[in-house]
Amino acid sequence: MKYGYFDDTRREYVITTPKTPVKWVNYVGTMRFGGIIDHTGGSLLCKDDPALNRIVKYIPQLPASDFKGETLYLRVHEAGGYRIFSPFFVPTLDPYDRYECHVGLGYNRYVSEFYGIRTEITVFVPPGAMCVVRDVRVTNLRDEKVTIDAIPVVEYTHFDALKQFNNADWVPQTMQSKAYREPSGIVLLAQYAFMNKDRQINYLTSNLPASSFESDRKRFLGENEYGTWKQPLALLAPELGNYEALRGDNIGALLHPLGTLAPGETRRLIAQLGQAEGPEAARAQAATYRDPDAVDRAFEAERAFWDEYLSKLAVETPDPSFDSMVNVHNPRQCYTTKNWSRYLSLYQLGLGERGVGFRDSSQDVLGVIDRVPAEARALMEMLLSVQKRDGSAMHQFNPLSMHANEGDSRERDDRPHYYGDDHLWIVLAVCWYLKETGDLDFLKQEIPFYDKDRHGSPLEKGTVLEHLKRAVAFTKKDTGAHGLPLLGFADWNDTVNLAAGAESMFNANLYGVALRELAELCEVLGDHAAVEAYRGDYAAMKKAFNDAAWDGEWFIRYFDADGTPLGSQKNSEGKIYTNGQSWPVISGFAEPDRGRRALDSVHRLLNTKNGIKLSWPGFNGFDPAKGGVTTYPPGAKENGGIFLHANPWVMIAETLLGNGDRAYEYYHQINPAAKNEKIDEFECEPYAYPQNILGDEHPQFGLARNSWLSGTSAWTYTAATKFILGIAPTYAGLSINPCIPSTWPGYTAKRVFRGAEYIIRVRNPRGVCKGVTALEVDGRRIEGTVVPIAPAGTRVQVEVTLG
């Protein structure tokens, strides 16, 4: 517990020293307005799109001690001069008597004590608001009175975040600021790019009069910027320069004389950083959160959102770290990945054309449909609108412009410019959504395909059901020499980029899963011809897969264009791939015997105490014929690293074969909440899954990176809830078919499904992993594992016995 601890009653993680190995961040707001805040007060915010409407300059590559985005200075009048420090520790780095960053649901609360001054700062985005609030309470802990000034500071970026970094003439020529002073003395300091002055302005303001302001970085730091953020020279003078920047590096700084505080006295300053269409709109908007009661109500509303969000499922098992993840941190991360895709994090910087990923967001949906189905549906509608008429999908899109592109595949002329898997994921997303909600009308909604005419109008639209059918139809035709789906530029593994004509067993299995989902759906819809057709396609692909892909102890992962296998005993590097083994079990293509052997090979050759490696052995040198995977040293990322996203698929496969002990072992070994004791090795936030951990071929085995935005979140949540706890929605009801560790005497859960509440108690008197022997619903015995759909608003008691 070196850097902090879990406070489960408050649903917070409390960081108790600022010197964590890397910045530990949290998310506030949504992409409508929001971003990340770090544990030393820095922020990276945008409105609608981090690439095209970025607000704050945050450069993660700078040292941890540097100023990033936003901070607050306090200035204590002392001995005829000033003592200047930041209650966030960064950037002034003063010695502190107390330092806490409470990482909460949608907020951070910082509590610090420096020089007898206690500061408590809550940072959050009021639900639906276009501003972030910094609610600051400064308390005098000294036994004498003290005079204090508070100076919130923000450093702006050009709205086009990439241009900020690659055009150091145009950008600064356009950046301007203007101050608006209210009769009360309150100042609203606006900032904008000249071209946006009448339609998009950022503003910094507060609820208290400001005696002066500064908007130019050079003047704030002083001496042509040989003054520093650690001690801005402007703060040594009684007042700031009141300079309205006409160009240059724009900041916002407002000097608030908080006055003289008696011992024990507290002052409250509410600062806001927001965006509006123009000065009038900004002033109207800013007025709301100058009222402390409105801020309190907004914070309660944020809390209420999370209460509601988390109320859909609550579990109690014998493992508190499992409960902590499943009940709070993992669902929160699922909502975060749903909101941000892979667009904006400390690692994925939201610059240029990255946008929202088709594959990624289709999977993120799986983690939130039980809690925010309407938001899941809205995201699926966006995704379906970038699917093409041929059934394939654009790889990513910008959510502001809705322009889509082919992702990294554009970087190689000698490779296909589509991904073999993207479009298949949306079939899963939609079908899981239907099972959760019963909203079959969604299938009838018409959504345009992405292909457009010269004027930018869609060439064709189709119902959601038609979109799904085209997705599998694309892959049915897009096959290679073994009758297996082509790889395209890549499948789920973005970095294996083989020559055109290569086949992917991952795509084969994902196609199998999609076909099975569609067959099941068509059965519900009563379309028996379609059911037969999809079952036929499934059987054909299953045969092609089994004929070609078995390697003796495991399944092969790819065939190169010339038929050479990858992921085979025959290879010296990349002999075995995790996804090559888990997915045949998930798809049902692997018969139990081969499935068991394949998963045992994973356990033998790929498992480590820090998680399951993606492949082994790593490639040891750049090879353009294989692609991006060979740019990494062995043990890093997709090159034999522990790529966490692939771990829950092995958990799921193990539960399908009935081994709950192993599924749980795999779950527990990557649970970040269980990493708190070896956090100097792990380095990342213990309250969110990272994307990757260095594998045992790397000297820094165990080091995590790329926290927060990862498919690990939705899939670990799925593995834990639907497969280990075994609570899974179906078209007919809620299936309860656990596969738990044999040592668990059982568990209890409360699950909301289609508006009814299911109180589930599972008992495991004989210490098995799987096998429901009795299922009682409100005392009535039921055959099978599916609890029928109860009327909305009712509560159902479910007793499950394993044996």
Which one of 302, 638, 685, 697 is in contact with ligand GLC (CB under 6 A)? 638
Q: Annotate 52-69 with three-state secondary structure.
A: CCECECCCCCCCCCCCCC
Pairing of strands 756-763, 795-802: parallel
Pick the stretch among 40-48, 216-224, 315-323, 357-365 that binds ligand GLC (CB under 6 A).
Answer: 357-365
64 CB burial (10 A radius; 0-12, 13-18, 19+): middle
* Region 696-715 residues binding ligand GLC, contact defined as CB under 6 A: 710
Interaction between residue 466 and ligand GLC (CB under 6 A): no
As a whole number of angstroms, the distance between CA 497 and CA 475 comes to 18
Closest to ligand GLC by CB, 159 vs 492, is 492
Mark residues 171-190: x for contact with ligand GLC by CB under 6 A, - for none. --------------------
Is 149 noted as a catalytic residue in this protein? Answer: no
Q: How far is the CB of 348 from ligand GLC (least distance, A)?
A: 8
Residue identified by tokens 């408050």 is: 10
Q: Of the ranges 113-121, 285-293, 355-363, 764-772, which one interacts with ligand GLC (CB under 6 A)? A: 355-363
Q: Which of 494, 537, 600, 623 is catalytic?
A: 494
Q: How far apart are CB 400 and ligand GLC at their closest, in Å?
A: 20
Is 422 a binding residue for ligand GLC by CB under 6 A? The answer is no
Closer CB to ligand GLC, 492 or 744, in the complex: 492
Beta carbon nearer to ligand GLC, 240 or 651 = 651
Across 295-334, the runs of DSSP E, i.e. the strands, are: 313-316
Q: How far apart are the first and last CA of the chain?
A: 39
At its nearest, how many Å lie between ligand GLC and the CB of residue 492?
4
342 near ligand GLC (CB under 6 A): yes
Minimal distance, residue 636 CB to ligand GLC, in Å: 12
Shortest CB 357 distance to ligand GLC, Å:
5
CA distance 179 to 503: 61
CB of 333 to ligand GLC, least distance (A): 14
**Which of 154, 612 has the CB closer to ligand GLC?**
612
The answer to whether 179 touches 213, Cβ cutoff 8 Å, is yes
> In angstroms, what is the minimal distance from the CB of 727 to ligand GLC?
26
Name residues contacting ligand GLC, limited to 359-388 (CB under 6 A): 359-360
Q: Is 495 in the site for ligand GLC (CB under 6 A)?
A: yes
Whether residue 509 contacts residue 545, with contact meaning beta carbons closer than 8 Å, is answered with yes
Instruction: Name which of 18 and 357 has its Cβ closer to ligand GLC.
Output: 357
Q: Determine the Cα angle at 331 with ends 322 and 754, to 5°.
A: 110
CA distances from 398 to 260, 320, 475 (A): 50, 40, 25
The nearer residue to ligand GLC, 119 or 362, going by C-beta atoms, is 362
Give the residue at shortest CB distance from ligand GLC: 494
155 contacts 69 by C-beta, under 8 angstroms:
yes
Of residues 222-281, those binding ligand GLC (CB under 6 A):
none
With CB under 6 A as the contact rule, which of the stretches 257-265, 267-275, 353-361, 665-673 interacts with ligand GLC?
A: 353-361
For residue 156, what are the β-bridge partners? 56
Residue 618 CB, shortest distance to ligand GLC, in Å, is 15
Query: Which residues, in sequence order, are CB contacts of 101 under 8 Å at separation 6+?
Result: 4, 14, 15, 18, 24, 39, 40, 108, 109, 110
- Strands, sheet with 201-206, edge to edge from the N-terminal-most edge strand: 4-7, 12-15, 98-103, 107-114, 117-124, 131-140, 266-276, 201-206, 187-193, 175-181
My answer on whether omega of the bond before 633 falls inside 30° of 0, hence cis, is: no
Binding flag, residue 493, ligand GLC (CB under 6 A):
yes
Nearer to ligand GLC, 110 or 643 (CB): 643
Task: Pick the stretch among 68-76, 95-103, 487-495, 589-597 that binds ligand GLC (CB under 6 A).
Answer: 487-495
Choice between 427 and 544, CB closer to ligand GLC:
427
| 649 vs 758, beta carbon nearer ligand GLC | 649
Q: Which stretch binds ligand GLC (CB under 6 A): 327-335, 493-501, 536-544, 784-792?
A: 493-501
Q: How far is the CB of 216 from ligand GLC (least distance, A)?
A: 39
Q: Which residues contact 661 (CB under 8 A, 6 or more apart)?
A: 741, 742, 743, 769
- One-letter amino acid for residue 433 of the chain: Y
Lookup: tokens for 273: 């950083």
Quote the CA–CA distance of 553 and 372 in Å, as a whole number. 42
d(CA 710, CA 368): 14
CB 380 to ligand GLC: min, Å: 17
By CB under 6 A, is residue 492 in contact with ligand GLC? yes
Binding segment (CB under 6 A) for ligand GLC, from list 263-271, 490-498, 542-550, 671-679:
490-498
Q: What does the per-residue mask of binding to ligand GLC show for 710-749, with x meaning CB under 6 A?
A: x---------------------------------------
Specify whether the backbone of 726 is left (phi greater than 0), alpha (psi in -120 to 50) or beta: left
DSSP-assigned letter for residue 113: E
For residues 735 and 785, is the Cβ–Cβ distance under 8 A? yes
The CB-of-64 to ligand GLC minimum distance in angstroms stands at: 25
Q: Identify which of residues 676 and 710 has a Cβ nearer to ligand GLC in the complex.
A: 710
Is 558 a binding residue for ligand GLC by CB under 6 A? The answer is no
DSSP symbol at 440: G
Task: Determine if 357 is a binding residue for ligand GLC (CB under 6 A).
Answer: yes
* 68 vs 359 by CB, closer to ligand GLC: 359
Q: Which amino acid is at 108?
A: N
Choices 33-41, 56-64, 491-499, 605-613; region in contact with ligand GLC by CB under 6 A? 491-499
By rule CB under 6 A, what count of residues binds ligand GLC?
Answer: 11
Q: Minimal CA–CA distance to 277: which of 285, 266, 269? A: 285
HEC sequence for 193-256: EHHHCCCCEEEEEECCCCCEEEEEHHHHHCHHHCCCCCCCHHHHCCCCCCECCCCCCEEEEEEE
Shortest CB 363 distance to ligand GLC, Å:
8
Pick from 100, 135, 160, 494 the residue near ligand GLC by CB under 6 A.
494
Should residue 626 be labelled a site residue for ligand GLC when binding is judged by CB under 6 A? no
Q: Which is nearer to ligand GLC, 148 or 646 (CB)?
A: 646
In single-letter form, the type of residue at position 587 comes to S
Q: Look at residues 512, 586, 508 and name the one whose alpha carbon lies nearest to residue 548.
A: 508
- Three-state secondary structure readout of 358-421: HHHHHHHHHHCCCCCHHHHHHHHHHHHCCECCCCCECCEECCCCCCEECHHHHHCCCCCCCECC
Of the candidate spans 149-157, 471-479, 489-497, 753-761, the one that interacts with ligand GLC by CB under 6 A turns out to be 489-497
Of 360 and 503, which has the nearer Cβ to ligand GLC? 360
In whole angstroms, what is the distance from residue 388 CA to residue 330 CA? 33
Range 298-317, binding ligand GLC (CB under 6 A): none
Binding site for ligand GLC (CB under 6 A): 342, 357, 359-360, 492-495, 638, 691, 710
Catalytic residue list = 494
